[in-house]
Amino acid sequence: MSNHEYGRAFGIWRDSAQADWEIYTHHEYVEQMANGTLPEAQFVHYLRQDYVFLIHFSRAWALAAAKAGTLEEMATASATVHALVHVEMPLHIATCAKQGIDKEALEATTELPANLAYTRYVLEAGYSGDFLNLMAALAPCVLGYGAIGARLANVSGPYEAWFKVYGGEEFQTLCRDVGALIDQALVRRLGENWADLPRAAELAHQFKTATRLEQGFWDMALTPPPSDP
């Protein structure tokens, strides 16, 4: 198993969304970051949208804790929220500050439709469905960044810090933990043969839709931003 393999459900879902998964994880935006040709303005644009994204993404993990079926699921979900809110977001604010965007500018970022589409899709999948629907919709973000990071961990150039974060051991461990959480949650509710049940198709469809929305996020990140304050 290579280090970007994050469990059984991930393998099944990724295979069923293969063409879309490739487009997402090998997106032109990622390639321009990797080869260093991405204009800094586009990186700043991405950072700002990603800040708004992280707020809603944290809310989605909080919803996962509210919908957890075991103390263990609750512990993993709440630890993730805690890490996002008390570690990632302050780090993100610091990174943006280095790029000359202060916290007020960050907060004033207009959330673009392609950004909003993904987080609301995830949250709504969670509210209308159960813990598993939420996990299937969340997975492409966490595990896709993991796959990109694992593939490009050793990139050098202006964006190497970004790749080091997502390719680094800490984030890769998180990905394996999330993959294991998902696998256990599936088996705990639906049994070892969950992949044969009708519900499996619904979950794979949500994973695929979320993967397409991640493509849309990169498309947006490549597009010159509107003039924000």
- Applying CB under 8 A, the residues found at the interface with a second copy are 55, 58-60, 62-69, 71, 74-75, 77-79, 81-82, 85-86, 89, 111, 113-114, 116-117, 120-121, 123-124, 127-130, 133, 187-191, 196-199, 202, 209, 212-213, 216
| Residues 6 or more apart whose Cβ sits within 8 Å of residue 181 | 73, 76, 77, 135
Based on CB atoms, which residue is closest to a second copy, 42 or 184? 184
Based on CB atoms, which residue is closest to a second copy, 4 or 212? 212
Unique residue bearing structure tokens 């487009």: 23
Are 5 and 11 a contacting pair, CB within 8 Å?
yes
State the Cα–Cα distance between residues 37 and 71, nearest whole angstrom.
Answer: 46
| CA-based end-to-end distance of the chain | 46
Strands (E) across 102-199 are located at: none
Angstrom distances, CA of residue 182 to CA of 55, 57, 95, 190: 22, 17, 31, 12
State yes or no: is 214 an active-site residue: yes
Based on CB atoms, which residue is closest to a second copy, 69 or 158? 69
Catalytic residue among 73, 96, 175, 214: 214
Based on CB atoms, which residue is closest to a second copy, 180 or 190? 190
Catalytic residue among 73, 96, 141, 175: 141
DSSP string, 126-151: HHHS-HHHHHHHHHHHHHHHHHHHHH
Catalogue the active-site residues: 141, 214
